[in-house]
Amino acid sequence: MSVTYYKSASQPAFSVAVTASLPVWERVLPEPNAKIVFRQTHQVAVSYYTPLTLNTVYSAGPVTYGVPATTTYFLVAEDNFRDMSGGMLSFERQWAAVPTTWFDREDFPFNYPGYIVPISIGTRYLSSAPTEWPTYYTIPYTPSNVSAGDRIYLDGSYTRNSISYRVNLFTTANDRTAGGLYVGVGKILPGTGTFSSGGLWVRRADQGRSQPETIVIPSMLQNDYALTSVTQIDVDLPAMAQFTPVDSIGNSVSYLSTGTATAPNSSEYATAIATNSNLIAECIRERWLGNIYVRRIRLVPAQ
């Protein structure tokens, strides 16, 4: 059986790869009939095959084959090589345009931090020296707005056994609390011996989440693309910092405090919730096709 290959009058013996099929479009994004990626079969004499350089811009010549002339397509692969006999080679070239940003949604388990925003009812109140009992402390506290089981925030200083201490902590008022007299707390205050002076500010802490919690939440996936390289990706698709609370020396924490103890602090986080802000749960950059890279940013609502 003989095989005859036909070439154009200007082509010398299939020494240049010729298009041997119409474009076959691939569905790669969740958009009906989006013309983003296509393949075309080519043929060439095997001795003349030379790989085309990635990023080469597609040119259909005088025949467009239905490829949009207003969109730039880049070579992203050559594959599916086949021996056609008679010294002929068949292969496919894959071409892709750089997609525009698109969004998707997906349920995602996110580890939300614990946080408390101290709230003063009227003002915060300065106490006098605490009293130590076998299993708890009582802290003099005139206002009657704290009951057993309430979260409270203690900050300030005191002197105990001639040593000065400063504290900044959250705790829960225990059943020794008596409204308008004192707040009962566990054995949480540093030091030993008798309290000789007091300067603790007592505030009720009504807002927040007492413990870190993993919540399955609807997340938004933002997909950004760029024609780039491993040395240029930080410019074209810079990494986005993942939401990771840290303490004042950079250690990861799961509980947000006030002031400069953590970043963000509890007040800043409460503001993010109030303004319906999103947190970056993940940022992944990887090669998509050829030298087109994708950056996938997962956003979750602050809550």
Res. 207: pLDDT tops 70: no
CA-CA distance, 196 to 128, in Å (whole number)? 10
Token pair for residue 157?
A: 């200083």
Asked if residue 4 has pLDDT above 60, the reply is no
Asked whether residue 294 falls in the same domain as residue 230, the answer is: yes
Rounded Cα distance between 99 and 275, Å, is 31
Residue 238 included in any domain = yes
User: CA-to-CA distance for 262 and 245, rounded, in angstroms?
Assistant: 7
Among 253, 260, 272, 300, residue whose Cα is nearest residue 114:
253
Q: Residue 227: its pLDDT value, please?
A: 98
The domain boundary, picked from 205, 223, 239, lies at 205
Domain that holds residue 109: 102-114+210-301
Instruction: Give me the mean pLDDT over the 186-199 stretch.
Output: 86
pLDDT at 193 over 80: yes
Identify the pLDDT of residue 1.
43
Q: Are 173 and 146 in contact (CB under 8 A)?
A: yes
pLDDT higher than 60, residue 228:
yes
Q: At residue 30, does pLDDT exceed 80?
A: no
pLDDT at 2: 45
Average pLDDT, the chain: 87
Confidence check: pLDDT of 91 > 90: yes
pLDDT tens digits, 146-176: 888 887 888 888 899 889 988 878 788 898 8
pLDDT exceeds cutoff 80 at 13? no
Q: Are residues 178 and 249 in the same domain?
A: no
Same domain (yes/no): 220, 293:
yes
Helix (H) or strand (E) holding 271: helix 266-274
Q: Considering the domain boundaries, does residue 12 fall inside one?
A: no
**Nearest CA-CA partner of 167 in 145, 137, 146, 143:** 137
Which tens digit of pLDDT belongs to each residue from 95-133? 999 999 999 999 999 999 998 776 655 456 777 888 899
pLDDT score recorded for residue 283: 98
Q: In terms of domains, do 28 and 84 share one?
A: yes
Cα–Cα dist 125/139, whole Å: 11
Q: Are 226 and 107 found together in one domain?
A: yes
What CATH number should be reported for the domain holding residue 139?
A: 2.40.30
**247/282 same-domain check:** yes
What percent of the chain shows pLDDT beyond 70? 91
The pLDDT value given to residue 61: 67
Statement to judge: residues 289 and 228 lie in one domain: yes
Q: Identify the weakest region by mean pLDDT among 23-37, 96-110, 266-280.
A: 23-37
Average pLDDT of the segment spanning 241-251: 94
The CA R_g of the chain, rounded to the nearest whole Å, is 34
Cis (ω within 30 of 0) for the bond into 62? no
Domain membership flag for residue 43: yes
The count of domains in the chain is 3
* pLDDT confidence bin for 35, thresholds 50/70/90: very high
Give CA angle at 114 (170, 251), nearest 5°.
Answer: 90
